[in-house]
Structure 1
């Protein structure tokens, strides 16, 4: 199977902006990579940590967080791939108890992440992450976990940090990230800023920033949600305006972000399933909570200062539940209609992440005295942190589907 083709930076249809981080007067701090390269011998061994076996039929997506003295897998000193905004240790988060938890499914144990085993599974293959900055958060977690065994080479052909390609030479494994916050074609209306402006969403047109490069991928990890909360105009059927979300324009029907996200996932998944030459695996990761801000909205003083998971099981509710249902339903429809040879899998991580309001950077993604304007970040996840469970789930899914 051919290797992933690298993104052409001229094909980008969206600006590289963070969901909740508005930096005034400065460039984006910190590259995808750190400023140093730890001495990690390529192919070095690690302790086998997959002695536990998930019984057939056990739902790894329903369970609870339990104390774990063996966590975390890595620190900001051992992994050079942590982006500044998620480097909570570097920027002085005083409580590190949020690191000492693991996800335990009901009725079984989820094996610890085994970097050597993961690289064995994906050897001679390619994997692409597609979505917003949370997709990047996911990928960077994976790179940190894999750094126990091998340190990848950056073989990107663009300086755009939102489009990176890494290569694990010892395992012939290619790992890429493609930024597409809406999964479909989108652009800002005139005189708008990315955080508060009005977006034009072409809900039946997949984004050219990623789709043309997927034919040769063995695995596609696709996710999106948070950007659909932005005020948007919805276009379908060849560019016809069909409605909007929070646009306040006369004669334009008010629809919902559930409508737009459902349509975008339908378009993206059908496009992959029908992509000529694609015979790989699509993993749809469900959304992470939009509900962890307390004391205000994200741009009105909201914050997330909790220091431990919710003690009681908090169910998925409200907007999170509506969006989750839309994603799951569109996944099911796409799976049923997928062409022969295309495998679709659902990483239903929402219930686990709803319970972790303590795992976000909050104010600990920058120095307190920096000359920047930054909102408290209750969207992304600290690295290391709860987000590492996504890759424990991913490894289990790849092994179960092998």
Structure 2
């Protein structure tokens, strides 16, 4: 399913929803392959000496968990890779164009700490090109953090909602409600929203922020987490179809992002984390394939009737076993092969978001 570049026109393949591994592009904006079509998510990582797109040590908005260079990562090759689609070229992220194009807009990332990862990348991409950086302000209010680029009246926000659906405090304790989504009244007021969830669904014990799951009228101590994940996504999808005004708001859902703790996934069975990884996997295929959660997500998105756009970054991120903070994260040197260094892979997610947006505007 998807939109493809083909000649001068954009042809819809599959259902009438912008859910795709590619996207609709005007001729010449991103480029065309020899056959006149391009899936921007099919490609490989190549070294580009003009990368990274900014100096992360000069960006004050990076949390220490993601600030790999400041916390001693010795290698820098991981910063030099760009994503190269097989049949076309992506436009380089142009921060000044982004600021002009989206002047007066509100853009919100919604989800778990990987959304925070991507939000901080976007903030740094824009911070690097603003002439008067004293006119950039940040404020936080509960789950919402906002960076305002004052001279452009542009707000880049992140809303912490790891499950998208609600956790409520009741007499029995904290209840994860698979059919409740109350923060949507805040989310739908924005011009562009980018959703994500997955990281917290398998957390248990002290790391689990709920005591019970409510599924319809049933309250359970636990249930199959993949089933719960799907039910929550269906709640989100119903909310999108019935509550979001697509004349005002563009909706994106970013694909599941991988962790790299098990070398068997990339044919190195003796490897148990990402600590010594300094280069991506070559080629365009991840040996173990997509995780089950990706199939669940894509299945739910295929049933959305409104034009939700899919940032299909799972495979390209799987290839980047070198992109994590590992022990260079500023948090007790704990091994982190789940989040991503900034600068790094999240910049490419935002580059793909930018390419999609400019192709439509």
State the TM-score, normalizing by the size of structure 1.
0.71
Deviation at 1:329, TM superposition (A): 1.6
Verify the 8 A CA contact 1:181 1:224 in the aligned structure 2.
Answer: yes
2:214 alignment partner in structure 1? 235
Does 2:180 correspond to 1:211? Answer: no
2:199 alignment partner in structure 1? 226
Verify the 8 A CA contact 2:137 2:149 in the aligned structure 1.
Answer: no
Deviation at 1:269, TM superposition (A): 2.8
* C-alpha distance 65-295 of structure 1, shift in aligned 2 (>3 A): closer
* C-alpha distance 326-295 of structure 1, shift in aligned 2 (>3 A): closer
Q: 1-side partners of 2:159 and 2:287: how far apart?
A: 28
Q: 1-side partners of 2:244 and 2:45: how far apart?
A: 42
1:172 alignment partner in structure 2? 153
- Of 276-285 and 118-127, the range deviating more from structure 2: 276-285
Does 2:43 correspond to 1:63? Answer: yes
* C-alpha distance 321-276 of structure 1, shift in aligned 2 (>3 A): closer
SS of residue in 1 equivalent to 2:40: coil
* C-alpha distance 134-190 of structure 1, shift in aligned 2 (>3 A): farther
SS of residue in 1 equivalent to 2:349: helix
Does 2:144 correspond to 1:163? Answer: yes
2:253 alignment partner in structure 1? 284
Does 2:359 correspond to 1:400? Answer: yes
Q: 1:90-239 residue pairs with structure 2 within 5 A?
A: 90-150=70-130, 151=133, 153-154=136-137, 156=139, 158=141, 160=142, 162-186=143-167, 200-206=175-181, 208=182, 210-231=183-204, 233-238=212-217
Q: 1-side partners of 2:29 and 2:140: how far apart?
A: 41
Deviation at 1:373, TM superposition (A): 4.8
Verify the 8 A CA contact 1:121 1:398 in the aligned structure 2.
Answer: no
State the TM-score, normalizing by the size of structure 2.
0.79
Q: 1:236-315 residue pairs with structure 2 within 5 A?
A: 236-238=215-217, 240-241=218-219, 244-245=222-223, 255=224, 257-275=225-243, 279-290=248-259, 292-294=260-262, 303-305=273-275, 306-315=277-286
- Of 226-235 and 261-270, the range deviating more from structure 2: 226-235
Does 2:291 correspond to 1:351? Answer: no
Verify the 8 A CA contact 1:284 1:347 in the aligned structure 2.
Answer: yes
RMSD value, Cα = 2.8
Q: 1-side partners of 2:328 and 2:179: how far apart?
A: 38
2:9 alignment partner in structure 1? none
Deviation at 1:145, TM superposition (A): 0.5
Deviation at 1:71, TM superposition (A): 0.7
1:330 alignment partner in structure 2? 300
1:76 alignment partner in structure 2? 56
Q: 2-side partners of 1:351 and 1:166: how far apart?
A: 30
SS of residue in 2 equivalent to 1:259: helix
Deviation at 1:401, TM superposition (A): 2.3
Q: Deviations over 1:48-106 (max 9, x none)?
A: xxx97333741111110011111111123321111111111011111111111110011
Deviation at 1:191, TM superposition (A): 12
Where structure 2 has 5 or more consecutive residues not aligned to the other structure, the ranges are 1-27, 265-270
* C-alpha distance 273-149 of structure 1, shift in aligned 2 (>3 A): farther
Verify the 8 A CA contact 2:44 2:282 in the aligned structure 1.
Answer: no
2:69 alignment partner in structure 1? 89
Q: 1-side partners of 2:160 and 2:139: how far apart?
A: 14
